[in-house]
Chains A and B, each alone.
Chain A
Amino acid sequence: MEFFPKIETRNLNLYYGSFSALKNINIKIPPKEITAIIGPSGCGKSTLLRCFNRMNDLIENVKITGEVIIDNKNIFDKNVNLLNLRRNVGMVFQRPNVFDASVYYNLTFGIKIHRLMRNKNKINDAIQMSLEGVGLWNDLKDKLKKNARYLPLEQQQRLCIARVIILNPKIILLDEPCSTLDPIATLKIEELLKKLKEDYTIIIVTHNMQQAARISGWSGFMLLGELIEFNRTKIIFTNPTDSRTEDYITGRFG
């Protein structure tokens, strides 16, 4: 391939108890691009995504074999600092999950727990930068004290993205970030992601194939825990190698 992968998995297997949810996944995620993971419900998209910041560690009875290499390091190694990993690999969830607290509290949460800065002015600058980064600064600059749960859903989801990028991550994982949003809000978030890919490596799980086609440079198609095909989005959608990929994108199942 023509890039040096930002994330690379090697023979990645994941079991929930005895159920094999990921089967021998080998994927190379390009840097500073949007990579889409598509596939029918239950095929393991979220599970794969959650491997990249080790969120699966929180679930009981999970067994993982194989490697996930980020910046030349296997993130499953014993000496990896899990908290720094999650700071570098931010995650945005399906439902906007802002804390039941002010916008300010939401944005400074990560700064505080990682003790990144103390200086009030610096913190305020960081808040402004991150809100500008997600196009919320003008809307929220006078409402930092307001409870974030009372914002419109789209703004909540943007705030979740801002909460991640304020920590200067290298990678942003998004698990169906638009599934609770209306089409207009969805397009706005997509615009945002296209802008963010200049600075971040972005991986997005989506059910929506148009969305994958619109924003991603690379796409992976999964089925029953396997990565069937991974290639440039253009090729996946116009000239896939595997007939199962073709069936899926032409809407014959799933």
Chain B
Amino acid sequence: MCIREIKESVIEFFIKISGFIIILFVFLIFLFLLNDAVLLFKDFPLKEFIFGKRWLPISNPPHFGIVPLLLGSLYVTFFATIICVPVGIASALFIAEIAPKFLRNILKSFIEILASIPSVVLGFVGIVWLGPFLKDTLKLNTGMCGLTGSFLLALMALPTIISISEDAIISVPKSFKEAAFGLGATRWQTLWRVVLPSASSGIIAAIMLGIGRVIGETMVVMMVTGNAPLVPKSILQPLRTLTATIAGEMGEAISGSEHYFALFAVGLVLFIITFIINFLSVILLSRSKK
């Protein structure tokens, strides 16, 4: 009896500690980024970092304007979202409400497989197949452009969006559906007018988490978007995202240099964006489970 109590309190203690440690880690990462990022602004004005339209880290004098990178990320993310949201919700509805059991299981395992494909493999597919394909069909100068990245990122966000939306759809009380059918609604009317609205906050959370995934993704965009740090005028041009910039330049930036600190500042911006998105989605998810 007494031993069991001790055991339980020890377990409880460890669980609590792990929770705190995670919070601590996030906070430490933030501090660590902030610590190095602020060093940039000793010499380089913050205003020019935020509003500067040129990212030329090794010119003389260097320019660390984040606008092209931020826009690059936004463009790619925006189009990826436009692609994956309708497809994701439709698939979730199909899996949760329409597909017969065996098909549902097959689809779910395919989605798990999709989620487990390493992003470098997807990048490879982009270089070898999707890029050239888009170049030919859309008559572009190069297939290594924002749109290629958007398509692949959409593919990467789909598993998140589908599985969380599916959860939200499945947890809509059966009694709502019964009520709708009892009033003479068709299956489609029930889905559209009852199930989807009731699942909406969970679905929105799924979308946000998917977007968080897209913004943070690095390898694919580095491989297929052309990596031109210019303010993009269209999604069909080569562009460069925040993540690709850090990953691509960190190796060559001299530790302790302005360039080095500028990359930390970019990292900080990325951290803040993803933090906000994830935070919002967690709030929405908890609201949907009220």
Contact = CB atoms under 8 A, between A and B. Distances in A.
Interface of A: 53, 55, 58, 82-87, 90-91, 93, 95, 97-101, 109-110, 112-114, 160, 163-164, 167
B73 to A, nearest CB: 36
Contacts of A55: 178, 181-182
Nearest to A98: B179
Contact of A97 (B176, B184, B186): B176
21 contacts: A55-B182, A58-B181, A82-B184, A83-B186, A84-B184, A85-B184, A86-B182, A86-B183, A86-B184, A95-B175, A97-B178, A99-B179, A101-B197, A109-B180, A113-B180, A113-B183, A113-B184, A113-B185, A113-B186, A114-B184, A160-B179
B182 A93 contact: yes
B175 A97 contact: yes
A93 B183 CA distance: 12
B175 A109 contact: no
Nearest to B177: A58
A93 B178 contact: yes
Contact of A93 (B179, B186, B194): B179
Nearest to B198: A100
Given A95-B175, A97-B176, A100-B176, A90 B182 contact: yes
B141 interface: no
B192 to A, nearest CB: 10
Interface string B195-216: 0011000000000000000000
Interface residues of B, number: 17
B175 A93 contact: yes
Contacts of B197: 99-101
B239 to A, nearest CB: 42
Contact of B183 (A58, A82, A100, A163): A163
Contacts of B184: 82-87, 110, 113-114, 167
Could you say which of A58, A90, A163 has the most chain B C-beta atoms within 10 Å of its C-beta? Answer: A58
A87 B180 CA distance: 11
Interface in B75-110: none
Nearest to A111: B183
B289 interface: no
A99 B183 contact: no
Contacts of B179: 93, 97-99, 160, 163
Given A100-B176, A100-B197, A110-B183, 4 more contacts: A58-B178, A83-B186, A86-B183, A95-B175
Contacts of B189: 113
Contacts of A110: 183-184
Contacts of B185: 83, 109, 113
Nearest to A88: B184
A-B pairs, top 7 by smallest CB distance, nearest first, are A86-B184, A97-B175, A91-B182, A87-B184, A83-B184, A97-B179, A110-B183
B191 to A, nearest CB: 12
A140 to B, nearest CB: 18
Contacts of A53: 182
B186 to A, nearest CB: 7
B198 A99 contact: yes
Contacts of A167: 183-184
Contacts of A83: 184-186
Contact of A90 (B173, B183, B186): B183
Interface in B149-196: 173, 175-176, 178-186, 189, 193-194
A162 to B, nearest CB: 12
B193 to A, nearest CB: 7
Could you say which of B173, B179, B186, B189 has the most chain A C-beta atoms within 10 Å of its C-beta? Answer: B179
A110 B182 CA distance: 10
Could you say which of A85, A87, A113 has the most chain B C-beta atoms within 10 Å of its C-beta? Answer: A113
Contact of A109 (B173, B178, B186, B193): B193
B214 to A, nearest CB: 30
A211 B70 CA distance: 69
Nearest to B188: A113
A99 B175 CA distance: 9
Contacts of A98: 179
Nearest to B101: A60
Contacts of A84: 184
B181 A99 contact: no
Nearest to A58: B181
Contacts of A82: 184
A160 B173 CA distance: 16
Could you say which of A55, A87, A99, A112 has the most chain B C-beta atoms within 10 Å of its C-beta? Answer: A99
